[in-house]
Amino acid sequence: MRIYTRRGDDGTTGLYLGGRLRKDAPAVEAYGTVDEAQAFLGLARAETAPGSPLDSALIDLERELWVLMADLATDHANRHKLEEGRTLVTAAMVSALEVRIDEVGAGFTMPADFVVPGQGRTAALLDVARTVVRRAERLSLDVVAEGSQVVPYLNRLSDLLWTLARSQEAESLYTRPAAHDHDHDDRDAR
């Protein structure tokens, strides 16, 4: 089997379950952005210990994003052919993300303010993935079918990625410097 088909040379791409769209169509932009988020999750996973809880969680999320991409890459007329949890995002998938957020968040004290990303490589990569997921969410708004769970899933996923990123930091750096941060800055200036 060859990786190239030449069918996309005309600027179109095939949809799941049939049909074609221009490669710059809003739906293609949406699921392409999900693909980008999935790649960043893979980059974050590459920084984790194989078999660790974070590694396992990221593998699960990467697999779920295939479901989400199939959902977004399906013409609305073919949605009835999608399979729940396999090619169609479900409310149960959204609820499962909420459970994960609560479980991860119970393991540490949540920051009380906005944080500055970059306290560690894994956390920073999770933050990049989170921002790409947020972009995918925005792009999906105009292309999802009525009743779709894609946008709620992406919304919860970004919350989970934020929580996972914070869980990887020994201590979060807040956007507003604490009093002891100023003392440190003053010493450095002397």
Q: What is the maximal distance between C-alpha atoms in the chain?
A: 69
Residue indicated by tokens 């410097």: 177
To the nearest 10 degrees (0 to 180), the angle between helices 26-46 and 53-72 is: 170
50: Cβ–Cβ under 8 A, 6 or more apart, which residues?
none
pLDDT at 108 over 90: no
Spatial CA neighbour of 176 closest among 88, 119, 122, 115: 115
DSSP summary character for residue 171 = S
Mean pLDDT over 74-99 rounds to 96
pLDDT of residue 107: 92
Q: Which domains does the chain have, with CATH numbers?
A: 8-189 (1.20.1200.10)
User: By mean pLDDT, which of 31-45, 53-67, 102-116, 167-181 is the weakest?
Assistant: 167-181
| Positive or negative: CA dihedral 132, 136, 161, 53 | negative
Determine the residue type at 83: E
Angle at 38 between CA 32 and CA 41, to 5 degrees: 150
Q: What is the mean pLDDT of the chain?
A: 90
| Tens of pLDDT, residues 1-26 | 888 888 888 888 888 988 898 899 99
Q: How far apart (Å, rounded) are the C-alpha atoms in residues 24 and 151?
A: 20
- Facing residues of 139 across strands? none
HEC sequence for 1-61: CCCCCCHHHHCEEECECCCEEECCCHHHHHHHHHHHHHHHHHHHHHCCCCCCHHHHHHHHH
Mean pLDDT over 71-100 rounds to 97
Mean pLDDT over 134-161 rounds to 97
pLDDT of residue 183: 44
